[in-house]
Structure 1
Amino acid sequence: MQKGKVTAYAVGHAVLSAVLGGKTAKITVDVDQASTLTVSRQQADLKDGEQINLQPGVYEQLKLTSTFADGTKVDVTDKAVWTSKLATVADVSKGNVHTIDKGETTITASFGDRSVTVKVTVGVVSSLTLSDSKVLFSEEGETKQVKVESSFKDGTRKDVSSEAEWSTSSDKIAKVNEGLIKATGSGKAVITVKYGGQTETINVEVQQASRLAMSQKQLIMASGTDAQLQLTATDSERGVDDVTLKAEWSTSSDKVADVVDGLVTAYGSGKATITAKYGGKTVTVPVEVDVAKKLVVNKKSLSLKSGGTDTLVLTAVFSDNSEQDVTASADWSTANYNIVDVDAGNITAVGSGKSKLTAKFGGKSISVPVTVDELKYFKLNERNVALSVGETKQVQAIATYKDGTDGDVTVSGVWKSSNTKVADVKDGIITTYGKGKATISVKFAGKTTSLQLTVK
């Protein structure tokens, strides 16, 4: 100030004094002194401390407007002092913000003794969006490309699949590279993707099922036969899938039945359990090989004549109420081979008497009583015989069986003389040796009959 004339040199605030006659007068002078500062972006005013979101590598021009006490507004963008709190994230020159790297910083614009700030975020992610949140594989080696999209705070969206950090909870089940997931083994795994401080996960299931179903609930088999089981897996997304050849099969007893890819082969009598495992689930099927609930024979008893034959038919009733002729495969036995013999249900009467035939199959047994030469009557064709010494005579033994038929059993019977000095007998032929009396008897099928002999 010179002789009362004030000249402004720079922005600021000053107090001018004038002294005259021992008196002093003061005046306050503001040079370009703003009452308020306003930062605007793309013609929109920002509040002090407001945040703007930008992507790395862009330029964004900010404008600074000063409003003076008299209400006038002036663009002071080029006159202000601009600074960045973290220049590695974004720097600024004359209001032109240049973003460099991801992060956050504060831009400050100063003019006069006033200042205003703008928060700047660079490449800050607000959320991640996955193309798939769950991936199911039915086979090892299958692949699936999952994409991840980043939503930034500036409103932009970008596919960041190749930039994100991917990881797996188990590379034995699933591996991942830039979102390409590959199934490596049966089980469950979690794929994690990270980008911009945000994290999302993908559930991966390889050969997993919500339910397993077997084509048959029970197998009733005969030794040497095969039966094919079919295994289906159900999940909520893929539906029903035939996994017979993919499952792990096992048997509780390979002596009874074995299994390969669902094909069950019966080897020996007994019970076993076939187990199929797939997708973390297990299902079992009971198997019975030559196991009978009961046995039924076509005849409750047999009455035969010596040398006669007959046939028994053995039927096995299984637990599912199915029936099978097991005559040839059963184990047959007789209580007395001298009376009756049996081979695969074929009966042969050997000699007079009673016996029992037994058939065994599938853990069960059944018996049939057998009577050979069961007689109703037994007699000789002669009651009294008179002969001279040295004479012979043929007599017959006649058996009347229970069925009413008659048979000549002269040769089959066992003959006896009460006095061999008088006479002897063989096959019904009486031969006399001396005078006297004798009783000639014959025994057959437990019965005995006789005649009186007189030799003169």
Structure 2
Amino acid sequence: MVKRKMTGWLLMLTLLLTTILPHGAMAATGDLKSIAIDGEGTTLEMTVGGSKEIKVWGTFEGSTGTQDLTNTANWSSSDNSVVTVVKGTLTAIKVGTATIRADYNSATSSITVIIKESHKELKLEYSSEGKYSLDAEESDLAVKALVTSVLDGAGTSKDTDVTKDATWSSSDTSVLTVEKGQLTLVGEGTATVTAKYAGLTETFKVTVILPYSKLELQYTPNGTTETAEDLELVVGDELQVNAQSTHTDDKDSKTDVTEKATWSTSDSSVVTVEKGKIKAVGLGKATVTATHLGVTAKTDVYVRTPYEVIIVNPSADQSMFIAEQIDAEARMRSGANRDDNVTSVAEWTSSNLLVATVSDGKIVARAAGSATIKVSHMGISKSIKVTVYPTVTALKAEKTKLELFKGDSSSLPKITATKLDEEELDVSDIVKWTSADESIAKIENGKVVAVAKGTVTLTAKLPSLAGTGLSVRDSEISVTLEVTEKVLTLLSDEEKLSVVIGEETKLPAITAVWEDGEEGDVSATVEWTLSGSNSVIKTSATGKTIKGLTKGSATLKGTFSNKTISIPVTIEQKITKIVVNPTSIELNLKKSKSIKVTGFYSNGKTVNLSSKMGWESSNPEVATISSTSVKAVALGTTTLTGSYQGHKASINVSVVAKLSKVTVDEKSLVLPPGSAKTVVLTAEYDTGSKATVTGSAVWTSSKPSVAKVTGGKIEAVAKGSTTIKAVYGGKTVTIRVSVK
């Protein structure tokens, strides 16, 4: 029971100590090691009249934390007239420096405290009540900033100039700017000037007025002063213009401000201006402006030139080699008759002096590259481009022979030059080409154009130089051009070829027809190709042939000049004989009939050759043949001939008119016995023609005992009736005969 009471008292004591002891007191388990004031080793700054609390902390043996000793430590100040301290609370008394010290047991800690004056007020001192003319003197534009500071608790104070340390600003920089208290007036208007220092701010309003109401530009031609408006000058002229200002408070009072005004030009390539002196330097229009203390005056200046153009010779862009020189010339022209040489007085410039230099028209190539040479005089200029190439010693053409068809064109051969390091330089764009005969070929737009059939020499040469050039410029390169007619078409003596396996067949003969109508056998120069692997082209002493290898088909192509001809080729076994059906044909006009041709191989097998015979008609005006069908065109006869693998065949064709009908001149007869009568039988054809065919018809009598007939002659035998019939070409006609 006693132990329980003791335990309870211990718990209550612990809670009580935790509540009343300072922070960290319970952490102390051993002797004090050290104490430290907040900010120990630094300097603390305060202002007069201010107060601040600082703490001191203790560190004990065996503890990782610190204990707040602020209320139990002994505090002291080295100068209580400057700053006092009570339980860590500092009070600033007056300006000065003191050391604040805290002691606890045998431990000590201190900090230095500096007491500064307290700023009470910021004041600005300025002149003219803040109203200034734009031409005010600099000394009148100085503003002073004073800060009033409290030195001690008794209220002792002083003013300090902080103009250089304050922060200055203007509410409108188009009116004025301010820096370290110095105002710079910019233009008419009102602005607020603000100064800031140590948390204090002060402002004042500034009004800027213009000293002048206007500015006028004047010049004096022929001793008379005139307003400078729309001035006209010639390139090279100079004109003095003066700036006169009118005072704001006295309109009758004027001041010459030419030297003080700010002058500018809208285009310095036309006119320049300095302190009112205008100089015309180039053709065009520019505006000259004078500005002084807020007022501005302008005048337009029109600059003309006594010349119209400047001409440079050479006028085209130039290609040069290193160390070459060109003696260029510049001439000015005005009108038809005025022509002045200005080479020596004009201004010559080079855009790249490393590549080319120029002086008084002499252009010297210095290094490979390009530069623009410009010559200017009296506002007019002209430029030429100069391209500089490395030094070369010889020229060479990529091709020395060309072939073209008439009417065609082609790029000219590539021309190269040999450099000093033996490497090649492409000079194709530099050389100039000429044709020895422009009726055959001419040079146009960097190409050669073939005009007519023939042979002509084309010559390439570097252009001559208006100055000192390399010897290679005297070299010439010649190229021979052969101009031929274009081939209109190629004709073959064989439309198709049949080649027997294992045998050789001659290539067809080819005739070329040119566009000018000329023809020629070109068989020997045709380039032949053969598709597939069923056959092959062979060359022998007697010429080229096709040898059949395996059954199949191929295409034989022959190329000559600009044309190609294709001939189908069939490769097959050898035919031993052919049979044609029919062997003769009779046709009416416009009628057709098919022809069948059967071929027999050596093994007994057959093949239809109807479309392979290559039939031809000896008289196409009578009958034509197309593949396997013959068509009658006109009355007459013709012979069809064809062959295959050397087997020839022929068919006789007769074209006859078609019989429309037959008529007889007597339809009925009455004859006495023993008498006779000959009738006439007429055939009428689809052509409209007629023919007597009495003797060609077949005549019969239904009762020969009454009357008989022979070749149209009817003989009466005995009384009675009979019918006489005549048949011709499948047509029949009858005659009734009575014998009385």
Normalising to structure 1: TM-score of the pair?
Answer: 0.27
Larger radius of gyration: 2
Q: Larger % of helix: which?
A: 2
Normalising to structure 2: TM-score of the pair?
Answer: 0.18
